[in-house]
Amino acid sequence: MAHSSASDRPSRPTRRHLLQGTALTAAALVGGGLFAGPAHASRLIIGPGLEEGVLPPTESNIITPMSPTEALWNEIDGVPTMYIRDGSGVRKPASFRSTFGFYATCETWVRDSLRPLSASQGYSGLSFITSAGAYVNKAGQHGAGTAVDIDEIGWSDGRISRMIGQDWRSGDSATRKRYYAVGATMRIHFHWVLDHTYNTAHHDHFHGDFGGPRPPVLQKGSSSDVGPAQRVLNEFQGAGLAEDDIWGPLTTAAFNTSKSRLGISGDPHTSAASYRAWLEAVARKGFAGVGW
């Protein structure tokens, strides 16, 4: 779990929050990672083989491969989920599948980081989250039901962070910084988080999964940690670093400068709390569209 507090454990849903597995279509149970269902009528669908009304609380319930009847959701902490990759270019309500433990972490991400950190900088309520998929019948974290790809975040005031639109390339500084703010909120809760700094396959979305240690620390030997940190230091601080995924003396010096300017204590390489504080500071600056 991203935190140790009891509030991170999902509450036991009432019957009105659940639909019987028999309500699922064959496409939802057997098909790919997406079920284009009706408007958001339910919070979670619980499938056969699990005790009705009991939501397994943590990622310790992960099974590999994931049962396709485990969890189907069309919102994250009350924010509707959408899909836009059907070729039409139109954003549509959609449902996705994962393990219950992974869904609980998705909720924690939205509730404890994405929503409050953006709101602290004047953003209105979250309007939608567009995903490229979660569970997919293949090897790896997606096949285990412990990964999600994020294409867009929308707020009710009309602002949208568009990873699918490659906001990291934008000529507008505030748009770029908001992109890194969204990524920072995800890195608090998921590990690994992959973006355009990792490889070209992730140039148009954020991928978050359970593949690394959590709560995460900033790992000097991980390209999926070092690359984004270098890009953030260049974007927000004008550090002028080579974005080579190597944590050398220049990156160390620039990172220490960021800690000093942001008022971060401790060692984010060994302390999850310190890394979280740094990421939250990055997110606040990013949503404000300013550097340090």
Report pLDDT digits (tens) over 43-57. Answer: 454 433 333 333 333
Residue 33 lies inside a defined structural domain of this protein: yes
| Predicted confidence (pLDDT) per residue in 86-108, tens digit | 999 999 999 999 999 999 999 99
- Structural domain count, the chain: 1
pLDDT at 68: 54
Tokens found for residue 121: 């900088």
- Asked if 106 and 113 touch (Cβ cutoff 8 Å), the reply is no
Evaluate whether residue 92 is within a structural domain: yes
CB atoms within 10 A of CB 4: 7
Helix (H, G, I), strand (E, B) or coil at 166: coil
Residue 21, pLDDT above cutoff 90: no
In this prediction the pTM is 0.80
Percentage above 70 pLDDT, the chain = 76
The answer to whether residue 109 sits within a structural domain is yes
Is 1 domain-assigned? no
For the segment 22-33, what is each residue's pLDDT rounded down to a tens digit?
A: 233 223 332 334
Locate all alpha helices (DSSP H) within the chain, ordered by sequence: 26-30, 100-109, 115-119, 173-187, 223-237, 249-262, 272-288
Q: Which residue has the tokens 């390339």?
A: 169
* Domain interval for residue 257: 6-288
Cα–Cα dist 171/169, whole Å: 7
Q: Is residue 149 part of a domain?
A: yes
- The CA-CA-CA angle for residues 10, 155, 273, to 5°, reads 50
Tell whether 181 is covered by a domain: yes
In contact, 132 and 108? CB cutoff 8 Å: no
For residues 226 and 246, is the Cβ–Cβ distance under 8 A? yes
Average pLDDT over residues 163-182: 98
CA nearest neighbour of 79 among 46, 49, 124? 124
pLDDT tens-place string over residues 226-244: 999 999 999 999 999 999 9
Q: Which residues are paired to 82 by β-bridges?
A: 93, 130
Listed in sequence order, the DSSP H helices in 113-155 are: 115-119
Which is higher by pLDDT, 201 or 79?
Answer: 79
Is 235 inside a domain boundary?
yes
Average per-residue pLDDT for the chain: 81
Whether 219 contacts 269, CB under 8 Å? yes
Cβ–Cβ under 8 Å, residues 123 and 159: yes
How many angstroms separate the most distant Cα atoms in the chain? Answer: 58
Residues 32, 74: Cα–Cα separation, whole Å: 15
**Which pLDDT band, with edges at 50, 70 and 90, does 214 fall under?**
confident
Residue 5, both tokens: 């507090």
Neighbours of 197 (CB within 10 A): 21
CA angle (36 as vertex; 35, 39 as ends), nearest 5:
120
Confirm whether 131 is domain-assigned: yes
